[in-house]
Amino acid sequence: MALLIQVLVSGILLGGLYALMALGLALVWGVLNIVNLSHGALIMLGAYVTYFLFTGAHIDPFAALPVTAAVLFVVGYLIQRGILNLVIRGPMFNTLLITFGIEVILTYLAQLWFSADFRAINPSYAGSNYTVGGITIPHVQVLAFVIAIGLTLAMWLFLLHTRIGRGIRAAAQNLVAARLYGVSPKSVYALTFGLGAALAGVAGGLYGTVSQINPYIGGPLTAKAFVIAIIGGLDNPLAVIVGGLFLGTVESLTALYIGPTYRDVASFGILVLILIARPNGLLGRTA
């Protein structure tokens, strides 16, 4: 029983990070109608930005997250205005090809600049743990979980209660009506993609504190984010939290009872089942 509880706790902590990884993808997909295949590469870049701020500037990785978010926001904003905005009204296949091309370019640039070596962000407290009722909870994973869930809730409040957030939601729901109320689609789209990239950057920084990073982590993380966005739906960040926690728990239980090599099989098996039973996601209306 203690082992099961330990695995469930680990799955929930992992699921919070998964939710943050998927939030930026779901935001861009819901507003711009773009499945951003470069999302994982942006997570990877965020991990490297945090890593070099930690190793080069000696900034605590959690304190470095605002800088990472700002850097990735600029990167995302420029990608949307300079590249994606040119094909925003084109067929979805075109945007899939372009975002895939961006992912490939970012991956190989990262390999050229940073090498293919595995790296990790290990602050002095990386090995510290909490022990509650015989259950070991890593300090770093708790911090990553709290930040991930806090940012996801903050994004939900931002979309609901700020003028910019309402503009983003209006553009997602009815672009023609949004134009009539003075919403500029170009500005909203660039801002949304920048926010999605910033969230990806923070997720990458947190990922680097709990796992090793290299230039090739982007593809698998894009797949995870895609699965979570489908599971939860695209309606609001709270659905993404549910999807992330659900996937993290399922993966942990699969690793315990079947084997760690079957974690991804379980993830995509659940995706297939949900697409058959509830094509709009567990909590979503639009997928």
Name every residue whose Cβ is closer than 8 Å to that of residue 249 and which is 6 or more positions away in sequence: 8, 11, 12, 15
130 in a structural domain: yes
| C-alpha 235 chain-centroid distance | 16
Q: Does residue 123 belong to any structural domain of this protein? A: yes
Instruction: Give domain status of residue 259, yes or no.
Output: no
Question: Strand, coil or helix: what is 238?
Answer: helix
From residue 92, how far is each of 78, 82, 87, 263 by CA, in Å? 20, 18, 9, 30
How high is the pLDDT of residue 234?
A: 63
Q: Is residue 4 part of a domain?
A: no
Residue whose entry in the numeric block shows the structure tokens 């509650």 = 132
Model pLDDT, residue 213: 93
Asked if residue 250 is part of any domain, the answer here is no
CA 64 centroid distance within chain: 18
SS3 string, 30-72, reads: HHHCCCCCCHHHHHHHHHHHHHHHHHHCCCCCCCCHHHHHHHH
Region for 129 from its dihedrals, namely left if φ exceeds 0, alpha if ψ lies in -120 to 50, beta otherwise: beta
Which two structure tokens, joined as six digits, stand for 176? 């023609």
Residue 150, in any domain of the structure: yes
> For residue 238, is it within any domain?
no
Question: Which residues face 135 on adjacent strands?
Answer: 132
User: Whole-prediction pTM value?
Assistant: 0.90
pLDDT at residue 273, rounded to an integer: 81
Give every CB contact of residue 265 below 8 A, 6+ residues apart in sequence.
254
* Tally of domains in the chain: 1
Across the chain, which has 287 residues, the per-10-residue mean pLDDT values are 81 88 87 87 95 92 94 95 82 86 94 90 81 79 88 85 80 68 77 93 92 91 87 72 86 85 81 74 53
Q: Tell whether 286 is covered by a domain.
A: no
What is the residue range of 14's domain? Answer: 9-216
